[in-house]
């Protein structure tokens, strides 16, 4: 159905633009040589009221109408941030049953953020953009950049961590590269979507300074630096108005202060009020059934808020077409950049290059959290047997979790990847250990796995212990999965602990082996009450199609781990600001009482030691930092200072170190965090090699948001630049002043 409609609608466009007709003979709205704004003016002058109304709301689950009479094609969107969602039926969430809509699953965005490498972000954007383009998608619904406020948020795995600077730097290349393919990046969920269970009714209470310093910077960077062509509104409210039609967020900040010229797209079912949708900045309404939240009659798109109800208000004289024309201009601008762009490349699907990209990003994002006695990497020359224990060693993680669920061409499990890597020289023993989520079909995508197991907890643990006793090394693959109330859209976790009695299992394993390696498969922090008894811990994330191969490469030392945490692992929930001073996942007003003190900022302010700090990550080699130097001890407004620090690989093998720059304001007139990330660099060093890492500091890095003046302010005075390997591992510092 879709391909037939496209061929009919777009046929006129390409026929007119073919060699039988000069560009000068085309009407302006079809002439690709004309400026986009000229084309928009011409198209709007030709459109009827009905045609204008038709293109600002959905016509199916994932498409909005074009203007067939004028040869303007429809607009097609797709989830998600980690891969291209399988096709669904026109008017239902049910899978369409296509055989050619399998994709590459790229690592979840927590893993991308853990690379701390903007080159990896660019590679990610290019690769997923090419897959979207091949599938003829115009808008990619991602990436997500909501801040990691609590480890219980079920959707944290789709985002880029707790720090606004890190998320800002990582989102820009992703957006830029997706859009180079002629596919719009729809950055989501704007804004303050930091929990799932009550996402439709929660109303965060956040002051302006916290809003601007913590929760908006990544969106701002995506718009101003990345040039994002579309933004998705969030489900939640903010100051009494839903985020999808919120005057402050959309009109005043996004379109006013940031100059956003693209289209605001509602989250599916995020539109609730026709008049607010008209006046408060929403441009394109998508949803499900009648109102996006409940089951209604099929093909009810004409009764969407921005459909017939809007037209009736115009016809009655209550509204003019002023707001409508602005919405139409924005949607047409989005179309001319995507569906009407005749210069975009063809793209590619499940290519060798994309599989390699998934592998490379995955290996760069894996984080070595603990490695006592250098138990890792596993020495295959001296190891005769490896016990692999845990459901997450075999469970497919590319299905489930909500809208990021995918139908992949191939997913390599950790057990499969390890067996492939070690070959026949090392015996691999496997035990299930626990039974967690046995779901094998999600939204009619069948993983092909049948994970049902009726053995008792006692039997499962006994088998695992027996296998562990017989092995030289024990690899435990546990953590979370993408079932409800874990890492899953629509629900939040109920606690920080591991599910399915895993703590009991891990404790039993520590009693029979001192060579236990815990690989945590998750997009969130988990509690580790047994940490002192487990010598090695690896954060394995959700790594997509190449998960098993990427993990195996790091575990046996083919790849030296270089990832670092994009969020803090607390010892207990009360060690986070959201669960100590604020509220989390609440129906109605939800107080963000911790304010600016999110993540490591809270640990610093309250002198609370984390389990693993923001920015933490080990290597199979070691790095030594020299003394930081500065080119001048003072800086005048409009100037900059350059800080240089030598970093040496003091180990015996090549590795990559992520050097982190934090800034501390020593003389602030307002409360400021003890330090804030303002720079980072990933540097590759051969054994024994030294490189100088340079950071340039400008006024922006010294500024805070003054909510009284409603502007950014850098106060004259003394600042300290702190450089280290993690937020709790500062190696060197230098003082300078702003004149």
pLDDT in tens, 389-441: 999 999 999 999 999 999 999 999 999 999 999 999 899 999 999 999 999 98
Alpha carbon of 402 to those of 247, 413, 434, 523, 541: distances in Å? Answer: 29, 20, 24, 14, 17
Alpha carbon of 690 to those of 593, 624, 626: distances in Å? Answer: 44, 9, 10
Among 28, 97, 104, 96, residue whose Cα is nearest residue 63: 96
Say yes or no: 316 and 423 in one domain: no
- What per-residue confidence (pLDDT) applies to 80? 80
Say yes or no: 647 and 721 in one domain: yes
Say yes or no: 441 and 544 in one domain: yes
- What per-residue confidence (pLDDT) applies to 298? 58
Say yes or no: 311 and 184 in one domain: yes
Say yes or no: 560 and 637 in one domain: no
* Percent of the chain whose predicted confidence (pLDDT) is above 70: 95
pLDDT in tens, 227-251: 999 999 999 999 999 999 999 999 9
Task: Using the Cα atoms of residue 319, residue 285, residue 492 and residue 561 in order, give the sign of their dihedral.
Answer: negative
pLDDT over 80 (residue 7): no
pLDDT over 80 (residue 11): no
Q: Per-residue pLDDT averaged across 23-43, rounded?
A: 93
Whether residue 331 contacts residue 75, with contact meaning beta carbons closer than 8 Å, is answered with yes
Q: Per-residue pLDDT averaged across 735-739, rounded?
A: 95
Whether residue 647 contacts residue 695, with contact meaning beta carbons closer than 8 Å, is answered with no
* DSSP codes of every residue in 185-212: EEEEEETT---STTTTTEEEE--HHHII
Local structure of residue 539 (DSSP, 8 states): E
The SS3 call for residue 420 is helix
pLDDT over 60 (residue 294): no
> Tokens for 263?
């289209």
The CATH number assigned to the domain holding 368 equals 3.40.50.1700
The total of structural domains in the chain comes to: 3
Say yes or no: 306 and 423 in one domain: no
The CATH number assigned to the domain holding 727 equals 2.60.40.10
Say yes or no: 75 and 190 in one domain: yes
pLDDT over 60 (residue 17): no
Among 337, 371, 399, the domain-final residue is 337
Say yes or no: 373 and 511 in one domain: yes
- What per-residue confidence (pLDDT) applies to 634? 87
- What per-residue confidence (pLDDT) applies to 93? 82
Alpha carbon of 649 to those of 314, 599, 620, 623: distances in Å? Answer: 68, 29, 11, 5
Among 314, 337, 360, the domain-final residue is 337
pLDDT in tens, 596-647: 999 999 999 999 999 999 999 999 999 999 999 999 888 887 789 999 999 9
Whether residue 518 contacts residue 103, with contact meaning beta carbons closer than 8 Å, is answered with no
Element of type H or E holding 387: strand 385-389
Residue 512 pLDDT level (bands cut at 50, 70, 90): very high
pLDDT over 90 (residue 278): yes
Whether 599 maps to a domain, the answer reads no
267 annotated active-site = yes
- C-alpha–C-alpha distance, residues 275 and 272, integer Å: 9
Whether 579 maps to a domain, the answer reads no
Q: Of the listed 138, 163, 203, 267, which one is catalytic?
A: 267
List alpha helices for 194-288, DSSP H. 208-210, 217-224, 274-279
Among 544, 426, 566, 458, residue whose Cα is nearest residue 131: 544
pLDDT in tens, 649-689: 999 999 999 999 999 999 999 999 999 999 999 999 999 99
Question: Mean pLDDT of all residues in the chain?
Answer: 94
The SS3 call for residue 353 is helix
Say yes or no: 428 and 372 in one domain: yes
Whether 595 maps to a domain, the answer reads no
Q: Per-residue pLDDT averaged across 31-37, rounded?
A: 95
Whether 710 maps to a domain, the answer reads yes
Whether 590 maps to a domain, the answer reads no
Among 567, 598, 630, the domain-final residue is 567
The domain of 218 spans 2-89+128-153+160-337
- What per-residue confidence (pLDDT) applies to 299? 62
List CB contacts of 197: < 8 A, sequence separation 6 or more.
154, 490, 491, 492, 585
Whether 616 maps to a domain, the answer reads no
Whether 728 maps to a domain, the answer reads yes
**Where are the strands (E) in 270-384, listed by range?**
367-371
433: left (phi over 0), alpha (psi -120 to 50) or beta: left
pLDDT over 50 (residue 201): yes
pLDDT over 80 (residue 21): no
pLDDT greater at residue 94 or residue 477: 477
Say yes or no: 526 and 488 in one domain: yes
Say yes or no: 332 and 426 in one domain: no
Say yes or no: 318 and 410 in one domain: no
Whether 296 maps to a domain, the answer reads yes
pLDDT over 60 (residue 69): yes
- What per-residue confidence (pLDDT) applies to 18? 36
Q: Per-residue pLDDT averaged across 699-709, rounded?
A: 97
- What per-residue confidence (pLDDT) applies to 12? 43
């Amino acid at each position: 159905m879709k391909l037939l409609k496209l061929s009919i609608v777009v046929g006129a466009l390409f026929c007119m633009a073919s060699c039988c007709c000069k560009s000068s003979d085309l009407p302006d709205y079809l002439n690709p040589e004309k400026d986009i704004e000229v084309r928009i003016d011409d198209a709007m002058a030709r459109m009827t009221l009905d045609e204008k109304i038709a293109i600002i709301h959905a016509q199916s689950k994932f498409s909005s109408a074009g203007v067939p009479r004028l040869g303007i094609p429809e607009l097609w969107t797709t989830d998600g941030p980690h891969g291209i969602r399988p096709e669904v039926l026109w008017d239902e969430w049910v899978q369409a049953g296509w055989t050619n809509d399998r994709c590459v699953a790229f690592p979840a965005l927590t893993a991308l953020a853990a690379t701390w490498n903007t080159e990896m972000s660019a590679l990610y954007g290019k690769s997923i953009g090419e897959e979207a383009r091949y599938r003829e998608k115009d808008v990619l619904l991602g990436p997500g950049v909501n801040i990691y406020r609590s480890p219980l948020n079920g959707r944290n795995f789709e985002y880029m961590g707790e720090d606004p600077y890190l998320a800002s730097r990582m989102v820009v290349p992703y957006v830029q590269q997706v859009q180079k393919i002629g596919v719009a990046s729809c950055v989501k969920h704007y804004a303050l979507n930091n929990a799932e269970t009550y996402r439709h009714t929660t109303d965060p209470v956040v002051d302006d300074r916290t809003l601007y310093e913590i929760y908006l910077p990544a969106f701002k960077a995506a718009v101003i630096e990345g040039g994002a062509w579309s933004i998705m509104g969030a489900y939640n409210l903010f100051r009494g108005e839903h985020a999808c039609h919120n005057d402050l967020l959309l009109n005043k900040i996004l379109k006013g202060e940031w100059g956003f010229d693209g289209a605001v797209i509602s989250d599916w079912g995020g539109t609730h009020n026709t008049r607010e949708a008209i006046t408060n900045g929403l441009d394109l309404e998508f949803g499900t059934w009648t109102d996006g939240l409940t089951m209604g009659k099929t093909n009810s798109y004409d009764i969407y808020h921005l459909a017939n109800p809007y037209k009736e208000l115009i016809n009655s004289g209550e509204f003019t077409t002023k707001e409508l024309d602005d919405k139409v201009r924005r949607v047409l601008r989005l179309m001319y950049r995507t569906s009407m762009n005749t210069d975009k490349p063809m793209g590619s699907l499940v290519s060798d290059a994309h599989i390699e990209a998934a592998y490379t990003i995955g290996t760069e994002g894996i984080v070595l959290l603990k490695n006592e006695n250098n138990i890792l990497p596993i020495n295959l020359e001296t190891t005769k047997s490896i016990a692999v224990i845990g459901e997450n060693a075999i469970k497919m993680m590319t299905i489930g979790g909500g809208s990021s669920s995918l139908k992949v061409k191939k997913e390599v499990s950790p057990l499969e990847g390890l067996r492939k890597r070690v070959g026949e020289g090392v015996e691999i023993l496997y035990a299930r250990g626990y039974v967690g989520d046995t779901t094998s079909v999600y939204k009619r995508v069948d993983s092909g796995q049948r994970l049902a197991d009726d053995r008792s907890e006692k039997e499962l643990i006994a088998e695992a212990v027996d296998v562990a006793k017989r092995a030289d090394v024990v690899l435990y693959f546990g953590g979370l999965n993408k079932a409800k109330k874990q890492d899953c859209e629509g629900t939040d976790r109920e606690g920080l602990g591991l599910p399915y009695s895993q703590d009991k299992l891990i404790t039993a394993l520590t009693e029979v082996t001192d060579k236990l390696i815990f690989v945590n498969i998750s997009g969130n922090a988990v509690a580790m009450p047994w940490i002192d008894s487990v010598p090695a811990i690896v954060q394995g994330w959700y790594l997509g199609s190449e998960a098993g191969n990427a993990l195996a490469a790091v575990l046996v030392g083919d790849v030296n781990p270089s990832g670092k945490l994009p969020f803090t692992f607390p010892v207990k929930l009360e060690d986070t600001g959201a669960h100590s001073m604020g509220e989390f996942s609440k129906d109605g007003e939800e107080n963000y009482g911790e304010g600016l003190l999110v993540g490591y900022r809270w640990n610093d302010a309250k002198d609370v030691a984390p389990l693993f700090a923001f920015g933490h990550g080990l290597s199979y080699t070691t790095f030594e930092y020299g003394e930081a130097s500065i080119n001048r001890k003072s800086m005048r407004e409009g100037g900059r200072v350059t800080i240089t620090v030598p970093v040496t690989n003091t180990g015996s093998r090549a590795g990559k170190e992520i050097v982190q720059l934090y800034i501390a304001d020593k003389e602030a007139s307002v409360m400021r965090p003890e330090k804030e990330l303002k720079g980072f660099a990933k540097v590759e060093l051969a054994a024994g090699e030294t490189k100088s890492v340079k950071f340039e500091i400008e006024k922006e890095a010294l500024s805070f948001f003054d909510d009284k003046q409603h502007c950014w302010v850098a106060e004259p005075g003394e600042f300290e630049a702190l450089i280290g390997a993690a937020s709790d591992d500062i190696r060197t510092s230098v003082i300078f002043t702003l004149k």
